[in-house]
């Protein structure tokens, strides 16, 4: 391996690592605020790529059907819970929120598809459509289970992963999609060539991380989420509604995943079930940060990207094996660092 | 668990008869289905113990099944081993892997094991598929059939008998295990870890044992699978199958061993039906049954978390057995009562939480055979001190000596082993277990029966003596009439007394009581005081952390008063009562 190959591998690793980092951040965010171990994050990535690919081809993506289906279920859940609590007066507003908005997005998506909108608009539409599915998922699946143990929430997450994978196959079909590169340009720096594509991915990830940093540091909603993550009961006592925090969290997390789906589209062919393995790499990164630390999770995700790209050079058939086996030494390190036996919540 | 009524036995007999009859009357397809249900039941059974009982989860059981199948496949085809010798080899390999995974993850919070098993399951699956000497993705064929002394098990019907003999044996052993010394501790792992550790249970070790047990069952299932199919490839050992095994346990009802069989049968039959119906209905091929499984799981966990088995079990109600077999109690753990001047010495102890100093430079001693009261206003640091002595909190400074030995750095279960028993301020009982079982858990350190002895029913003599110990502790605390009630059904005051009974069953040298009189009525308090006096007269030493001044004054030999984390006063109750500093702390001064 000479320097130029090493530089190429490093560039690949960092590019993929940046995408894994977005997933790792989404996973940490969801876990700290809601205690949900968000296995189905990967499906949102797949949906992101496949939605954008559909729009580029000028045909309505499967996302339309998914949104309609989720909106109908959310509507039923809302009617049932409003009925049970005797809050029927609020029902129209809730239906507008949970059914109206998703349906409106689905409608725009279906109408816009054949019109070949400019690329940035297509990206915005993709992000809006996939992001909308985050709160819907929370409302339908997790909100009714807000008091369940971490273990139950984890099992539910795996069930949701099953459902979303199967629905992905139904709505998007078995064929994979790839979106065109954002740019074919490249930069030469000495013997090393940087592709503009890679630079864009890294820059876009950094930008999104920066925006999130500002959101959590300066806005009231961001602070409310941080407060909930630190102390759920305390946050509730000062008036932060857990279901509001959950809804907002799932919207942000879905946005992160959809964004990474847009970024990964030109790099690799994405199938309806590709997201799962990508999200697991995000999980390995997040676990390096103990599922609580954002900077460590992002650094861990970068490490996963680099490890994967270098092992694809040495032992390409085993690169996934190597990446997933990394979790063992990581857990060993964390376990030895944990002084005391931890009791579950 | 231990039914004496007729209905469960009838149901059980009917089930076994049905099992035996099926292969002779049913079409071959049913026999095949029965084989798979049996194989899956064995795996799901492990998950019942791991998930439903011990509160841990694995999504990687399919990988252990694969390990069993592949080990036997390779050793029989490449090394010409007898299949009967490959089984122990596969079990050893599986145990080693499970032990390593469990050792690494089970000291941490419960979500690390499942995450590790997902990653590890995928890694192993991909390894099977990428190693040429394991046949890669095409797999390995030509695995020999089993035979027992010349009796070949080549036909599905004969193999069915073997599978279900193994499955029923595993059910029997697991059911035995749950109703035993290690079983009680295992059941406490779910929501009662801290409590169990206070009675000498090494939680991380026990959870690892449960994980290894589940992995070994999965391995046996894989071994059976390999010699049934006589061909292996990686497909059935992937992560989706691992997830489905967990679904079987949860849908069937993870709290009961029978849930495993019910869940395995439901999922297997449902999958068979859905794989026919769905593609035809949707006009497209693909494994759409996972959508149905996922939705069933979500709905179930939202509305009926205990799965299907409890509904079935209600059809054949059991009555709890109401007798304790006559047996001599277990030997006392303390042959000699200590003669140290100070049984427990707290020296310059300090505890900080961040910037908050909860206990500051606290020193006092507990002498053998006395009742020492530790009192103080709210927030004085009593409970923190209690936590430091019992090992549930770590010292920030100073030292604690028990019988002259420093215990400041020991874990709660090591401290329990030295002869310190405790109660919890917030009652920690296992609500769905009987009072007798709860109290018997207190005697954990006085028994020796392990998983193997318990599974094979070789622990009955010791178990009878344990129950005798528990029954005696219950009678002493005046709870005889509640012995077989579910602990969770008792009023809170009575539950506090059960806490005391459980601590007594441990036969401690030093008894730590954390506000035992809170929530008790006048007569209950009096009975508790009489009990504690009786214990003292037998040589027991007691540290009493209490709020209730009246209760403390009439009972204790000496008092230590705390305020703002420091010792305010120490001495005999009457002297302390006159102490101006104490009066000020309690009644408020200027």
The answer to whether the beta carbons of residues B505 and B421 sit under 8 Å apart is no
Residues A155, B305: C-beta atoms closer than 8 Å: no
Chain A partners within 8 Å of B302 (Cβ):
144-145
Residues A341, B203: C-beta atoms closer than 8 Å: yes
Does pTM top 0.90 for this prediction?
yes
Chain A partners within 8 Å of B110 (Cβ):
150-151, 344
Q: Which helix (H) or strand (E) element contains residue B171?
A: helix B156-178
B341-362 in b/e form (b: 16+ CB < 10 A) is: ebbbbbbebbbeeeeebbbbeb
Q: Which helix (H) or strand (E) element contains residue A134?
A: helix A119-137
Query: Residues B489-497: contacts with CB within 8 Å, 24+ apart?
Result: B489/B431, B490/B435, B492/B427, B492/B519, B493/B519, B493/B520, B493/B521, B493/B524, B495/B427, B495/B429, B496/B423, B496/B427, B496/B520, B497/B524, B497/B528
Which residues 6+ apart lie within 8 Å of A95 measured at CB? Answer: A75, A78, A79
Chain B partners within 8 Å of A144 (Cβ):
302
The DSSP code sequence of A30-95 is HHHHH----TTHHHHHHHHHHHHHHHHHTS--THHHHHHHHHHHHHHHHHHHHHHHT-GGGHHHHH
Residues A150, B243: C-beta atoms closer than 8 Å: no
Nearest chain A CA: its distance from B588 CA (Å): 30
pLDDT on residue B5:
57
Number of cross-chain residue pairs from A and B with Cβ atoms under 8 Å apart: 150
Residues B55, A166: C-beta atoms closer than 8 Å: no
Chain A partners within 8 Å of B247 (Cβ):
159
In sign, the C-alpha dihedral spanning B94, B96, B98, B101 is negative
Chain A partners within 8 Å of B297 (Cβ):
155-156, 159, 162
Shortest CB distance from A342 goes to which of B109, B130, B246?
A: B109
- Give the distance between the most distant pair of CA atoms in chain B: 95
Q: Distance between CA atoms of B445 and B462, rounded to whole angstroms?
A: 12
Among A69, A158, A276, A292, most B C-beta atoms within 10 A, so best to mutate, is A158
Nearest chain B CA: its distance from A219 CA (Å): 27
Residues B122, A320: C-beta atoms closer than 8 Å: yes
Q: Phi and psi for B247 in degrees, rounded to 5? A: -60, -40
Question: What average pLDDT does range A308-327 have in this prediction?
Answer: 88
Convert the pLDDT of each residue in A132-150 to its tens digit: 999 999 999 999 998 888 9
Shortest CB distance from A170 goes to which of B108, B118, B288?
A: B288
Domains and CATH numbers, chain B: 31-314 (1.10.3470), 344-587 (3.40.50.300)
Q: Distance between CA atoms of B84 and B72, rounded to whole angstroms?
A: 9
What does pLDDT average to in each consecutive run of 10 residues of chain B (590 residues)?
A: 61 86 87 95 97 93 97 95 95 96 84 90 93 92 89 87 95 95 93 91 93 97 96 94 96 92 95 90 85 94 89 72 73 64 91 90 93 89 92 92 91 92 92 93 93 93 93 92 92 90 94 90 90 91 89 91 91 89 73
Convert the pLDDT of each residue in A273-299 to its tens digit: 999 999 999 999 999 888 888 999 999
Confidence label for A159 from pLDDT (cuts 50, 70 and 90):
very high
Convert the pLDDT of each residue in A171-188 to its tens digit: 999 999 988 888 778 887
Chain B partners within 8 Å of A277 (Cβ):
122
Could you tell me which chain B residue has the CA closest to the CA of A164? Answer: B291
In sign, the C-alpha dihedral spanning B512, B516, B522, B523 is negative
Question: What average pLDDT does range A102-118 have in this prediction?
Answer: 93
Question: What average pLDDT does range A316-338 have in this prediction?
Answer: 84
Q: Percentage of chain A surpassing pLDDT 90?
A: 62
Which residues 6+ apart lie within 8 Å of A204 measured at CB? Answer: A259, A263
pLDDT on residue A185:
81
Shortest CB distance from A324 goes to which of B51, B120, B294?
A: B120
The answer to whether the beta carbons of residues A121 and A56 sit under 8 Å apart is no
pLDDT on residue B322:
67
pLDDT on residue A87:
84
Chain A partners within 8 Å of B301 (Cβ):
145, 148, 152, 155-156, 159
Taking residue B377's Cβ as centre, other Cβ atoms within 10 Å add up to: 15
Q: How far is CA A8 from CA A258, A306, B520, B547, in A?
A: 26, 11, 73, 69
Shortest CB distance from B243 goes to which of A162, A287, A341?
A: A162
The DSSP code sequence of B362-411 is EEEEE-TT-EEEEE-STTSSHHHHHHHHHTSS--SEEEEEETTEE-TT--
Q: Distance between CA atoms of B96 and B148, rounded to whole angstroms?
A: 28
Average pLDDT over chain A reads 90
The answer to whether the beta carbons of residues B514 and B425 sit under 8 Å apart is yes
Chain A partners within 8 Å of B57 (Cβ):
151, 154-155
pLDDT on residue B539:
87
Nearest chain B CA: its distance from A151 CA (Å): 7
């Amino acid at each position: 391996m000479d320097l130029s190959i090493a530089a190429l591998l490093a560039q690949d690793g960092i590019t993929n690592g940046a995408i894994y980092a977005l997933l790792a951040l989404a996973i940490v965010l969801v876990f700290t605020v809601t205690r949900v171990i968000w296995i189905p994050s990967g499906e949102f990535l797949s949906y992101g790529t496949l939605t954008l690919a559909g729009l580029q081809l000028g045909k309505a993506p499967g996302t339309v059907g998914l949104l309609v289906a989720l909106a109908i279920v959310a509507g039923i859940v809302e009617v049932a819970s409003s009925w049970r609590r005797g809050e029927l007066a609020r029902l129209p507003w809730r239906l507008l929120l949970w059914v109206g908005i998703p349906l409106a997005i689905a409608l725009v998506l279906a109408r816009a598809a054949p019109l070949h909108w400019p690329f940035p608009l297509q990206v915005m539409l993709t992000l809006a459509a996939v992001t909308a599915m985050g709160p819907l998922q929370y409302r339908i699946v997790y909100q009714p289970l807000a008091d369940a143990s971490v273990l139950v929430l984890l099992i539910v997450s795996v069930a949701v992963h099953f459902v979303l994978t199967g629905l992905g196959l139904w709505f998007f079909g078995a064929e994979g999609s790839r979106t065109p590169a954002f740019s074919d340009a490249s930069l030469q720096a000495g013997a090393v060539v940087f592709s503009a594509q890679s630079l864009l991915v890294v820059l876009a990830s950094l930008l999104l991380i920066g925006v999130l940093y500002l959101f959590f540091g300066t806005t009231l909603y961001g602070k409310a989420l941080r407060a909930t993550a630190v102390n759920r009961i305390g946050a509730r006592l000062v008036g932060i509604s857990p279901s509001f925090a959950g809804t907002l969290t799932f919207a942000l997390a879905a946005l992160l995943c959809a964004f990474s789906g847009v970024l990964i589209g030109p790099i690799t062919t994405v199938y309806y079930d590709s997201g799962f393995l990508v999200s697991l790499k995000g999980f390995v990164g997040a676990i390096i940060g103990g599922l609580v630390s954002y900077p460590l999770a992002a650094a861990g995700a970068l490490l996963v990207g680099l490890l994967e790209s270098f092992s694809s050079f040495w032992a390409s058939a085993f690169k996934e094996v190597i990446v997933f086996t990394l979790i063992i030494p990581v857990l060993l390190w964390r376990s030895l660092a944990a002084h005391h036996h931890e009791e579950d919540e | 668990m231990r039914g004496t009524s007729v209905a469960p036995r009838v149901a059980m007999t009917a089930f076994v008869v049905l099992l035996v009859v099926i292969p002779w009357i049913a079409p071959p397809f049913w026999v095949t289905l029965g084989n798979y249900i049996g194989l899956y039941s064995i795996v799901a059974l492990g998950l019942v113990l791991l998930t439903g009982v011990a509160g841990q989860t694995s999504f990687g059981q399919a990988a252990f099944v694969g390990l069993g199948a592949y080990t036997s496949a390779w050793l029989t085809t490449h090394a010409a081993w007898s299949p009967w010798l490959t089984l122990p080899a596969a079990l050893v390999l599986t145990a080693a892997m499970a032990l390593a995974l469990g050792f690494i993850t089970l000291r941490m919070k419960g979500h690390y094991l499942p995450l590790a098993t997902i990653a590890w399951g995928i890694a192993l699956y991909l390894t099977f598929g990428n190693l040429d000497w394991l046949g890669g993705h095409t797999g390995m064929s030509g695995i020999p059939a089993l035979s027992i002394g010349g009796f070949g098990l080549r036909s599905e019907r004969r193999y069915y008998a073997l599978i279900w003999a193994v499955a029923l044996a595993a059910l029997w052993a697991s059911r035995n295990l749950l109703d035993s010394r290690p079983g009680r501790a295992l059941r406490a792992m779910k929501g009662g870890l801290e409590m169990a550790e206070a009675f000498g249970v090494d939680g991380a070790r026990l959870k690892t044992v449960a994980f290894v047990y589940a992995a070994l069952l999965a391995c046996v299932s894989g071994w059976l699978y390999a010699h049934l199919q006589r061909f292996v490839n990686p497909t059935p050992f992937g992560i989706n199958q691992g997830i489905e095994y967990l679904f079987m346990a949860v849908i069937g009802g993870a709290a009961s061993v029978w849930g495993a069989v019910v869940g395995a049968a439901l999922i297997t039959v449902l999958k068979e039906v859905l794989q026919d119906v769905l593609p035809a209905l949707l006009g497209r091929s693909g494994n759409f049954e996972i959508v149905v499984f996922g939705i069933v799981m979500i709905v179930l966990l939202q509305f009926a978390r205990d799965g299907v088995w409890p509904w079935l079990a209600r059809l054949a109600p059991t009555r709890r057995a109401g007798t304790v077999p006559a047996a001599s109690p277990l030997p006392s753990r303390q042959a000699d009562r200590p003669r140290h001047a100070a049984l427990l010495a707290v020296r310059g102890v300090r505890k900080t939480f961040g910037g908050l100093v909860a206990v500051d430079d606290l020193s006092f001693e507990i002498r053998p055979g006395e009742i020492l009261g530790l009192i103080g206003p709210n927030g004085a640091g009593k409970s923190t001190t209690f936590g430091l002595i019992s090992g549930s909190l770590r010292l920030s400074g100073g030292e604690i000596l028990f019988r002259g030995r420093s215990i400041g750095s020991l874990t709660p279960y090591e401290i329990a082993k030295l002869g310190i028993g405790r109660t919890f301020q917030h009652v920690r009982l296992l609500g769905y277990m009987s009072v007798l079982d709860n109290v018997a858990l207190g005697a954990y350190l006085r028994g020796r029966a392990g998983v193997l002895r318990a599974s094979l029913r070789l622990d009955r003599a010791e178990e009878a003596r344990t129950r005798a110990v528990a029954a005696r502790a219950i009678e002493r605390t005046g709870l005889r009439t509640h012995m077989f009630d579910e602990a969770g059904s008792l009023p809170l005051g009575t539950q506090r007394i059960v806490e005391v009974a459980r601590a007594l069953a441990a036969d401690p040298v030093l008894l730590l009581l954390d506000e035992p009189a809170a929530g008790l009525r006048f007569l209950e308090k009096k009975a508790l005081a009489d009990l504690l006096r009786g214990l003292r007269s037998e040589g027991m030493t007691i540290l009493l952390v209490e709020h209730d001044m009246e209760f403390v004054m009439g009972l204790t030999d000496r008092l230590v008063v705390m305020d703002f984390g420091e010792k305010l006063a120490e001495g005999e109750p009457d002297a302390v009562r006159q102490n101006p500093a104490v009066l000020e702390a309690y009644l408020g001064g200027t």
